[in-house]
Copies of this chain bind each other. A is one copy, B any other.
């Protein structure tokens, strides 16, 4: 675990079912912070507040709730986000500007902020270094499992740790940070360098996952560095050593999010290669990863490869269907645009029964490549989202 961080998560009554819905991250020392936020034009109040506060480059606590997104809630919503931070600061004896805020849940309903006020002393009381899974539970919405990961690294002989926690499940598509995600490290790092590290890593990880193509109004990813391990990132070389650990943490969280996506039964990597550029490969992979028709076929474990080619063909990238190869894991299912017959299909169908696999599309037009991670589209996705507010 990261040194000098404490976590808590309790039930404040925001969730009707009595489950945990209020979480707190606290650093014993003032920490540097970087943040990436939703690009949706409709931004929740806590997102707007954090975007203002993060300019300072420092923070010492994050207060987060589930059960209500505090979005489309007008001036009261903005006031509520400020109050959440103010009350948290008071309990922790901090300046209110040192507290960031995150919310997730239903859009458009006023937040019962008095429930949070009432619960805050209890929340602060239970802060402990080993309670990150309580925090992870407190930010869950339709998630079924908490998502936490830790990785260790070394910088100039000093050990450090990167710990990440996230929630996902729905309203997820790759467009900056598409979820709530908090990453703590006990390495030290200036905030501008932290920001670069976070942006680079998100581009490679969280921006390569999709559940349903809907971008949330509350997307927030924070990277908080308190320096308590003694490890220091202050040069390009040190930054390059830190980056892969951060990538690992965020990719692990990304995969956990897809595995636990609303109704999902499969984690599928769409790997496109042989494109004219990496950007072209990304567009093709992204379009395939979003196809409702392919995603329902994956749910049905049907090797309907025609839907892969049909989706590739509408990605807005020039392609020659007559050259394309498609692999289901290592099974060649399509050779130069033509199906490889019943035996290949039988093998491909076996692959589709696995919980995790890769579909590789080789355009054979260049060296560009990109992967996007997606899930299948199930009956449960519809059930969950047809009755989300009831």
Contacts and interface: CB of A to CB of B under 8 A. Distances in A.
Interface of A: 39-43, 69, 71-74, 106-109, 170-171, 175, 212-217, 290-293, 296-297, 299-300, 302, 304-307, 309-315, 317-319, 321-322, 334, 336-339, 377-379, 381-390
Contacts of A310: 40, 42, 71, 107, 171, 214-217
A293 B212 contact: yes
Number of copies of this kind of chain in the complex: 2
A302 B217 contact: no
Contacts of A71: 306, 310
A80 to B, nearest CB: 13
Chain A binding surface SS class = loop
A79 to B, nearest CB: 14
A248 B377 CA distance: 35
26 contacts: A40-B313, A41-B313, A41-B315, A42-B309, A42-B312, A42-B321, A43-B321, A71-B310, A72-B321, A73-B338, A106-B304, A107-B306, A108-B304, A108-B339, A109-B339, A171-B310, A214-B293, A214-B307, A215-B310, A215-B314, A217-B310, A300-B386, A300-B390, A302-B386, A302-B390, A381-B382
Contacts of A40: 310, 313-314
Contact of A74 (B322, B382, B385, B387): B322
B387 A302 contact: yes
